[in-house]
Amino acid sequence: MAMREIVFDTETTGLSFSGGDRMVEIGCVEMLNRVETGRTFHAYYHPERDMPVEAFNVHGLSQAFLSDKPRFGDAVEELLEFVGDSPMIAHNAGFDFSFLNGELTKCGRPIVHMQRMVDTLQIARSRHPGAKHSLDALCSRFGIDRSHRVLHGALLDAQLLAQVYVELMGGRQIGLGLLSNTGSSASTPVVAQAPRVVRPPRVFVASEGDLAAHAAFMKGIKDPIWGAVASG
């Protein structure tokens, strides 16, 4: 059975839902067996409040741009249908979960249980202690192109994070598990073995010239230790 996971990111008006901030964007990427399927979900939401300049400088979403977007509670069904009951992966996931669950609670919907949360920040800290663990730093570590990331964007960041997540969990080869003709598990990678080429052994024989040159060299050595051993 395929393992389905959702990698997601949010953009907000600030740092605290309980302090009055709201979620204004969410981007989700679907993965099966840690391979992106190409299915994504992306939505903007009306924040029902102003946009602080500090938040605008991070994601570039203005109050004017969001003014005609739906309120979260009016568009929540699409998001819930896409997410389903799959585990949800985010970077510094506690932050994103606090806003997602805050919005769900506000509109009277059940929250996403914290057991479904996978935090790539915690994974990165355990795998690479002492290193930098921002999304940009992890992209650099794993050679993931982020040149198009000028501002934060929920869907773009979720797509970058999906690649980072794969690398943190073992690298791109984990998605190469294919079923063999004998019906082996899809979770076990099947690696095609190249045919082994057996070469005939090489024969190394010194020529007469090589032997003569060696004998002349040996005669030129004064008081060789093997001579003293032989005479003793």
Sign, CA dihedral 173-176-181-187, equals: positive
Decide if 120 contacts 134 (C-beta within 8 A): no
219 within a domain of the structure (yes/no): no
209 within a domain of the structure (yes/no): no
| Helix%, strand%, coil% for the chain, nearest 5 | 40, 15, 45
Q: Is 36 annotated as ligand-binding?
A: no
Mean pLDDT of 179-191: 37
pLDDT at 190 over 50: no
Q: Over the chain, what is the mean pLDDT?
A: 86
Q: Is 30 annotated as ligand-binding?
A: no
Q: Is 91 annotated as ligand-binding?
A: no
55 within a domain of the structure (yes/no): yes
DSSP E strand boundaries for the chain = 4-12, 23-32, 35-44, 88-90, 117-119
181 within a domain of the structure (yes/no): no
Q: What is the layout of strands, in order, in the sheet containing 35-44? A: 35-44, 23-32, 4-12, 88-90, 117-119
Q: What is the distance between the alpha carbons of residues 9 and 95, in angstroms, rounded to a whole number?
A: 10
Q: Is 214 a catalytic residue?
A: no
193 within a domain of the structure (yes/no): no
228 within a domain of the structure (yes/no): no
Element (H, E) at 64: helix 63-66
Quick: pLDDT tens for 109-168: 999 999 999 999 999 999 999 999 999 999 999 999 988 887 789 999 999 999 999 999
pLDDT on residue 179: 38
Q: Is 119 annotated as ligand-binding?
A: no
pLDDT at 175 over 90: no
Q: Is 9 annotated as ligand-binding?
A: yes
61 within a domain of the structure (yes/no): yes
- pTM, rounded to two decimals: 0.73
- Residue 146 DSSP SS3: coil
Q: What is the distance between the alpha carbons of residues 14 and 191, in angstroms, rounded to a whole number?
A: 48
Domain holding 111, by residue range, is 4-176
Sign, CA dihedral 30-36-40-46, equals: positive
Catalytic pick from 91, 113, 128, 152? 152
For residue 147, what is the domain's CATH number?
Answer: 3.30.420.10
Quick: pLDDT tens for 42-58: 999 999 999 999 999 99
53 within a domain of the structure (yes/no): yes
Number of structural domains, the chain?
Answer: 1
